[in-house]
Structure 1
């Protein structure tokens, strides 16, 4: 039965990354103005479809280039193991591209179509950019995920600026500087998630021409890059809280999550075996999820 293989290819453990930014901006928006719940639901659906599309595309692209091989330390991929064929995955990529477009269009239609046609057109183009970005990370003659720094940059944009600031505008029809701080904070957290993935596969990526930041920096400097990304993210989160301080709960929730991040950093710095990055990857995804909820819920209280 192929269903379990499709579930595996969707990489369910990564999906909270999309959910986190969208939900964080919704909770902040809800604390400031009246927000349409339907807009939030469509934002979540669109974000999840795009991330599954990116995961399928990554499975397909890395299989073609040979990055997914039996030297790879990360979880085995469905095409690599022969559970799904290239044709199966190609059809799934087409399907989720269409689903992402339809969901995104419905989101724009019900949230901003009659309010500002120019903003609608801007976001409409943005849908195609997101779909293209989800696919092009690993697929094509020059996938940007194989170029130093480009994967990190686009993760910052898609999972930070687009996810938080972009959805905030859909909820409120307004842009605020403090939300740029928060979206940048979330973007850097997601860059750190990608960096763990790249540190784990640093040797295999180098051998197969995938030049990530980790490959370019080397494992020691990649760990420093990881720490700096998390530190700046926390600093931006502190600035946001200072600008929007309402209750003591904001500080308490934030400090608790930062404690988790401190323990995470300690483990990363002293981690010796690359296969141990898998556990830290899952832990950081959970921390990012808690980070978004802690700021969102405490600001909403």
Structure 2
């Protein structure tokens, strides 16, 4: 039996902030109205468990479909390294989904059974992202799924756990975070474009082609910042949340990476694009959360 650290590493913990930060943002946007610490922690943990389950199922189905085999530019997963068997990876995904669902039931009982719709949709989306029978990521729907469930679903769900109502404020806060999460996936698909095309994986980047896919990447990033500014201007997002605009200089390294690869640098440098997109989401999200916390404390 592999040691616990092997299972943890296979869950791709570096990605967990993509779920934890939106859940924290949803909690903080609702906190001035109502706040319960233990339901907030459960909401964040549930979101992370669903993402971990999605990661395991993604690894399992990518292995079955051969999209992470030889020639892939990304780091090998637990199956490719021989650390876990395909059956173990699929079982781990099921266990994470089951644990996340159990947390969802507790929150439904403590808050409202309306949360069942959000949790059920999140579980289905996480499994069907690459799982049978829809394989959404293989049908150019990956960005849409990531935007919807790592943005509005998580943020609004976490806010509902506190305020027990669906709010325009939570929706407004969710938009930039969902767009940045979709940009992370687009960076991943830009890196894997040639390999995905070779193995028959039809991502949006494969359909659009490299130049148009790069343009889409920048559109997603620009839309995230405009959504934040627009939300603040409309009065739905507290002005301190504009601290997230301090992340604008971090767009430069990504522009340099794309330009270098376009000019003939090793395509593996696109791993830096993916890393920087994930870090941008984290930095933007944390500064956004800091602004929401300042608004909660100081009004």
Regarding TM over 0.5, the answer is yes
**Structure 2 partner of 1:15:** 16
Instruction: Classify 1:45/1:245 alpha carbon distance in 2 versus 1 (closer, same or farther; 3 Å).
Output: closer
Residues 227, 265 of structure 1: 8 Å contact kept: no
The 3-state SS of whatever aligns with 2:10 is helix
In 1, the alpha carbon distance for the partners of 2:87 and 2:163 equals 42
In 2, the alpha carbon distance for the partners of 1:208 and 1:141 equals 18
**Structure 1 partner of 2:283:** 290
In 1, the alpha carbon distance for the partners of 2:279 and 2:143 equals 19
- The count of residues paired between Structure 1 and Structure 2 equals 288
**Structure 2 partner of 1:34:** 34
**Structure 2 partner of 1:257:** 247
In 1, the alpha carbon distance for the partners of 2:115 and 2:166 equals 14
**Structure 1 partner of 2:56:** 56
In 1, the alpha carbon distance for the partners of 2:17 and 2:173 equals 17
How far is 1:265 from its partner? 4.3
**Structure 2 partner of 1:147:** 139
**Residues 80-91 of structure 1 correspond to what in structure 2 (within 5 A)?**
80-91=80-91
In 2, the alpha carbon distance for the partners of 1:70 and 1:7 equals 24
In 2, the alpha carbon distance for the partners of 1:40 and 1:82 equals 37
In 1, the alpha carbon distance for the partners of 2:147 and 2:28 equals 21
Report the RMSD for the aligned CA atoms in angstroms.
1.8
In 1, the alpha carbon distance for the partners of 2:175 and 2:285 equals 12
User: Displaced runs of 4+ in structure 1, greater than 6 A?
Assistant: none
**Residues 33-182 of structure 1 correspond to what in structure 2 (within 5 A)?**
33-112=33-112, 120=113, 122-148=114-140, 150-182=141-173
Residues 136, 144 of structure 1: 8 Å contact kept: yes
Unaligned runs of 5+ in 2: 295-299
How far is 1:66 from its partner? 0.7
TM-score between the two structures when normalised by the length of structure 2: 0.90
How far is 1:246 from its partner? 6.3
Greater Cα shift, 137-146 or 56-65 = 137-146
TM-score between the two structures when normalised by the length of structure 1: 0.89
In 2, the alpha carbon distance for the partners of 1:284 and 1:8 equals 20
Residues 18, 163 of structure 1: 8 Å contact kept: yes
How far is 1:250 from its partner? 4.4
Residues 21, 160 of structure 1: 8 Å contact kept: yes
Partner deviation per Cα, 1:46-72 (whole Å, 9 max, x = no partner)? 001100000000110000011110211
**Structure 2 partner of 1:270:** 259
In 2, the alpha carbon distance for the partners of 1:180 and 1:245 equals 9
Partner deviation per Cα, 1:162-215 (whole Å, 9 max, x = no partner)? 011222122112333233222121111110000011111111111111111111
Unaligned runs of 5+ in 1: 113-119
